Amino acid sequence: MSKKTLLNSWHRSEGANMAAFGGYDMPLWYPSGAKQEHLSVINNAGIFDTSHMALLTVKGAHSRDLLQFCFTKDLDHCIGKKKTPLVEGRCAYGAFLNEKGEVLDDAIVYFIENETYALVVNANMGSIISAHLKRCSKSYPEVDIQDLTDKIGKIDVQGPNAALFLAPHLSDPESIFTHMPYFSFKGTFDSNSHRTGEVRFRDNTPILVSRTGYTGEFGFELFMDSDHLIHVWHTLVNEGRKKGLLCCGLAARDSLRTGAVLPLSHQDIGPWPFINHPWHHALPFDESQTGFTKSFMGDEALQQSRNSVYVYAFVGFDLRKISSDRSSHVFDSAGNDIGTVSTCVTDMAIDRHEEKIYSIASPDKPEGFRAKGLSCGFVRLTKPQEYGTILELKDGKRSIKVMITEDVRPYRTARKSVKEMLTL
């Protein structure tokens, strides 16, 4: 029996196509369709119920030490080009590994305030990561770990106009949106925090607004006490729809994140060493890019397994995809089977024109450019590859040619400043 978010009956009443994901009954798409939902996040904005994701808090004098040991990102060297320490109001992406250097789950760690951190992990992973942290916390006394998943609701508003859709509903949008870089946040969902007054919904609901998301586009993740979730959702959706805000399901989220080269946990990252992949920013590499700036659970295993598994992003030459189950294999130009396909979707906002990939949002797109979409995803290989290498993906029925690539969808907006997006 799947779990349900508090918005489940709303999704159903809207005619969403529902499916099980991470133990939850979630919308795949609404009647507008996954393609329009994907395009809406590139062109305008979309709103997602992401309450299925799990939220933990880690509190206490040794909370940072515990996270430094368990989380792959070095919290003392992670902000900006100068790699300054994580301070209150900033968050960081990384992963939790076991002793073998394998991924238990990926996460964003929020430094809420003095000795208090919040972690967002994937659906159904709250109890697993919380148990893992508790096991590790034996060396770090007085750390309190709570799983607040069922007490906190989460809504993502993503797309270039996300701030325009959010602003009318915030108590003081101007001050909230000032100095709010990518991977920073303001406010909190906890009414007993000194941050509580920072961000309130118009009806006084305290919320945490974070400049994050998992689409590669500009936008926000909103966290609030679950008692307020339905009201906040209705308000944002009912007002937003007047200007084209589209409710989006997991299919659009999947194609958007893949085009942005973001991994899906337990699919593109998982029980194999987290070392050869496109997400080196999630590891605490030193300047030499060989050693680490801190020691952490799994670090030695990672150093010893440098020649194991290689994960790469790929992009195809048209929109056709293959299935990404165990029947799909990857072949090099000599016809050798060199691995498997972990994700294969179509990013409907991009296409090739004279060898180059453009997005419908690219300012330099050719005149009359129309995107039919390109297949893209991730492969898990037994051998390292150069970017630009052409490989063949085959499932039982179809084969497609793809190129190993560093990036997929151009002109993404995730890192743009709020100021720039508000003056568009």
Site residues for other proteins, 317-336, by CB under 8 A, read: 319-323
CB of 355 to other proteins, least distance (A): 22
Kindly calculate the radius of gyration of the chain based on its CA atoms and give it in whole angstroms.
21
Q: Which stretch binds other proteins (CB under 8 A): 74-82, 148-156, 294-302, 314-322?
A: 314-322
d(CA 383, CA 310): 7
Query: What are the b/e assignments for 161-180, b being 16+ CB within 10 Å?
Result: bbbbbbeebbbebeebbeeb
Left if phi > 0, otherwise alpha if psi is -120 to 50, otherwise beta: which for 323? beta
Give the contact letters, 30-69, x = binds to other proteins (CB under 8 A), - = no.
---xxxx---------------------------------
CB of 293 to other proteins, least distance (A): 41
CB of 161 to other proteins, least distance (A): 22
95 touches 102 (CB < 8 A): no
Which residue's CB is nearer to other proteins, number 28 or number 176?
28
Q: Is 371 helix (H, G, I), strand (E, B) or coil?
A: coil
Q: Which stretch binds other proteins (CB under 8 A): 16-24, 109-117, 167-175, 226-234?
A: 16-24
Q: Which stretch binds other proteins (CB under 8 A): 60-68, 284-292, 303-311, 315-323?
A: 315-323
The only residue of 7, 18, 92, 245 in contact with other proteins, by rule CB under 8 A: 18
7 binds other proteins (CB under 8 A): no
Give the contact letters, 162-191, x = binds to other proteins (CB under 8 A), - = no.
------------------------------
Return the amino acid letter for 230: I
Which residue's CB is nearer to other proteins, number 67 or number 408?
408
**What are the φ/ψ torsions at residue 165 (nearest 5 degrees)?**
-75, -30
Give the contact letters, 347-386, x = binds to other proteins (CB under 8 A), - = no.
-x------------------------x-------------
What strands lie across the sheet with 246-247, from one edge to the other?
185-187, 207-210, 219-225, 152-158, 46-49, 246-247
Residues with Cβ < 8 Å from 87, sequence gap 6 or more? Answer: 79, 111
The only residue of 398, 419, 420, 424 in contact with other proteins, by rule CB under 8 A: 398
Q: Which stretch binds other proteins (CB under 8 A): 9-17, 82-90, 150-158, 203-211?
A: 9-17
The only residue of 5, 50, 255, 359 in contact with other proteins, by rule CB under 8 A: 255
d(CA 162, CA 77): 30
DSSP state letters, 53-109: SEEEEEESTTHHHHHHHHBSS-TTS-BTTTTBPP-TTBEEEEEEE-TTSBEEEEEEE
15 binds other proteins (CB under 8 A): yes
d(CA 252, CA 41): 9
The only residue of 21, 29, 93, 233 in contact with other proteins, by rule CB under 8 A: 29
Locate the DSSP E strands across 139-217.
Answer: 144-147, 152-158, 185-187, 207-210
Can you state the percent helix, strand and coil of the chain, rounding each to 5?
Answer: 25, 35, 45
Which residue's CB is nearer to other proteins, number 322 or number 403?
322
d(CA 21, CA 350): 26
Which residue's CB is nearer to other proteins, number 106 or number 395?
395
The only residue of 8, 346, 359, 362 in contact with other proteins, by rule CB under 8 A: 346
CB of 20 to other proteins, least distance (A): 13
DSSP character for 308?
Answer: S
17 binds other proteins (CB under 8 A): yes
Of 218, 235, 224, whose CA–CA distance to 163 is shortest? Answer: 218
Binding site for other proteins (CB under 8 A): 15-18, 28-29, 33-36, 251, 255, 319-323, 345-346, 348, 373, 397-398
